[in-house]
Amino acid sequence: MRAMAEMTLSDRATDFVNDDTLHYLLDTRRPDPVHVRELIAKSLSKQPLTVDETAVLLNASDPELTEQIFETARQLKRDVYGNRIVLFAPLYIGNDCVNDCAYCAFKRSNREVVRRSLDHSEIRAQVEALERKGHKRLILVFGEHPRYNADFIAECVRLVYEIRVGHGEIRRVNINAAPMDVAGFRTIKNSGIGTYQIFQETYHHGTYARLHPSSTRKGDYLYRLDGLSRAMEAGIDDVGIGALFGLYDWRFEVMGLVTHGLHLQHTYGVGPHTISFPRLRPAAGVALDSPWAVSDHDFKRAIAILRLAVPYTGMILTARESPAFRKEALGFGVSQIDAGSRIELGGYTEAGDTQCMEREQFELGDIRPLDQVMRELLLDGYLPSFCTSCYRLGRTGEHFMEFAIPGFIQRFCTPNALTTLMEYLVDYATPETRAAGEKAIAAEIAKMPDGKVKKQLMEAIGRIGKSDERDLYF
C-alpha cells in the first residue's frame, strides 16, 4: 500500500516503536517501593517520565502504591490544570470508509450500519443545534474515504466557523480524521483548525496487523504512526495522540503513548497537545472477541500513570465512559471531556433519548445533555470552561508549552474559564445550573488576589451579564 503516490511519509519518518523493547521493560522493571516514590516525587516536580520509568509505575499494582499513584495524579491535576474542565462536542460528518478496522461499525464490510455523509445544509443544522446548547468547541470526525479529502475537510471547517445562531458560534474546530500527506495537512491547517487528532489504535505491531487488513489504507502501521509527524511538518503544532484501550495489553499501550509523545517532543520540539484513551465499546455489526478488555480499576491506573508521565499534556476522557466512571476518573488529571454528545450522523437534530446503534460508530456510555453535565461539574467543585483563547492568540505548540507553567492558569486560564462560563450561564443554562454557576464564579473571584487581572475579569463578567458583549478573553 505504501507504494501509492499519495502515501508519502514525513522527512524524518521512522518506526520508533520497538515491541521487544517495550515488552522487555514491562517484564523487567520491578516496582521497588522506594523507586516508585522517587518517581512520584519526580512527577510532582512536573518533570516528564521516561518510558523506562513509566514501566516501573505500570508494574506497581499493590493497593498502597496504586493509591499513592492515584493521589499524585489528583494533585498534579490540581497543580497544573486547577479545577478547570474544558468541554467540547464531537460532530460526525460522514461514515463512509475504505478501511476494515475490526472494532469499528464504520468498517467497509459492515452491512448493518446506515451510511451517510452530511451535506452543507445538514452540517449547518447540526452546528446550529450545538450552538443553541452552548457549545463553542467541536471536533469534526470522518471515516476514511476519498470523498473526505483535505479540501473537503477544510471546507467543512470553514463552514462551521461561519455558522452563527444568536450569541452562538464555534470558536475552535478540531479534527479526527485519517492521516494525510504533508500537502493535505497544510490545506487543513490553512482552514484554521485547532488540534488534529489521530489515534494509533494499538501500538503493538502484531495486533495492529491482525485488526487492520494489509489490503486497506489503514493497514500500513508506519504510515499511520508517522501521520502526526507529517502534520507537524505541515505546521500543525497542536496534535493529539491516542490509543484504543482493549485491543492489546493496556500497559503496553501506555508505553506506546509515552514513546510517541517523547518522539514528537525530541523530533519537533513540541510534544502532543492532548492524549486520548478511548476504551473499546460495543458497536453494531462488530463481534470482536478481545482478551484484552480493560477493567475500570486498570483503566484508572492507566489514566493516572499517563498523568504522572506527561504532566503538561492535556488528557481527554470521552462520553464512551459512563457518568459514574467519568465522575471518578476526572480527578485523575483529565483536562477535557465531551458533553451532550451524539454520534449518530445527524444525531443532534434527529436522535431521540435513546441511541440508534445502526447509525453510530459505537455505543456511548454518557448521553446526558450538556446542561446536566455542566451542573454536575459545578456541584462537584469543577470549573467548566469553553475557553478557546490560546490558539486564537497564537499560544500553540511550543509557545503553549512555555506558557503552561504556574502563574499561567491564574493569569489566563481561570479568567477565560470564568468569562466563557458566564456566557453559558446567561445564554443557555437552566435556572438550577445558572445558580450553581454564579456561586462558583463568585467563589473563584473571591480566591483571586486583588490586582489588575481580577479587576479586568470582574468588569468582563459584568459586561457579559448586562449586555450583548461576548467573547471577552485574556
Binding site for ligand SF4 (CB under 6 A): 97, 99, 101, 104, 106-107, 143-144, 218
Q: In angstroms, what is the minimal distance from the CB of 216 to ligand SF4?
A: 8
Of 177, 178, 160, nearest in space to 169 by CA: 160
Q: Cα separation of 232 and 239, whole Å? A: 8
Q: How many CA atoms lie within 13 A of 319 on its CB side?
A: 21
The item of ligand SAM, ligand SF4, none sharing an interface with residue 376, based on CB under 5 to 8 Å by kind, is none
The item of ligand SAM, ligand SF4, none sharing an interface with residue 107, based on CB under 5 to 8 Å by kind, is ligand SF4
Written as one letter, the residue type at 236 is I
Residue 436 within binding range of ligand SAM, rule CB under 6 A = no
Helix (H) or strand (E) holding 279: none
Q: In angstroms, what is the minimal distance from the CB of 220 to ligand SF4?
A: 12
The item of ligand SAM, ligand SF4, none sharing an interface with residue 280, based on CB under 5 to 8 Å by kind, is ligand SAM
Q: Cα separation of 21 and 26, whole Å? A: 9
Q: Which three cell numbers stand for residue 304?
A: 493516572
> What SS3 class is residue 180?
coil
The item of ligand SF4, ligand SAM, none sharing an interface with residue 283, based on CB under 5 to 8 Å by kind, is ligand SAM
CB–CB of 363/319 below 8 Å? no
Task: Choose, by CB under 6 A, the member of 17, 170, 198, 461 that binds ligand SAM.
Answer: 198
Which of these ranges, 175-183, 329-337, 347-355, 386-394, lies near ligand SAM under the rule CB under 6 A? Answer: 175-183
Residue 176 within binding range of ligand SAM, rule CB under 6 A = yes
Which of these ranges, 66-74, 120-128, 274-282, 433-441, lies near ligand SAM under the rule CB under 6 A? Answer: 274-282
Residue 178 within binding range of ligand SAM, rule CB under 6 A = yes
The item of ligand SAM, ligand SF4, none sharing an interface with residue 281, based on CB under 5 to 8 Å by kind, is ligand SAM
Q: In angstroms, what is the minimal distance from the CB of 300 to ligand SAM?
A: 18
Whole-Å CA distances, 270 to 77, 199, 237, 240, 440: 21, 18, 7, 12, 34
> Can you state the percent helix, strand and coil of the chain, rounding each to 5?
50, 10, 40
Residue 174: strand pairing partners = 139
Q: Cα separation of 79 and 140, whole Å? A: 31
The single-letter DSSP state of residue 411 is I
The item of ligand SF4, ligand SAM, none sharing an interface with residue 110, based on CB under 5 to 8 Å by kind, is none
Judged by the rule CB under 6 A, the positions of this chain that interact with ligand SAM are 103-104, 141-144, 176-178, 198-199, 201, 244, 278, 280-281, 283, 320, 361-362
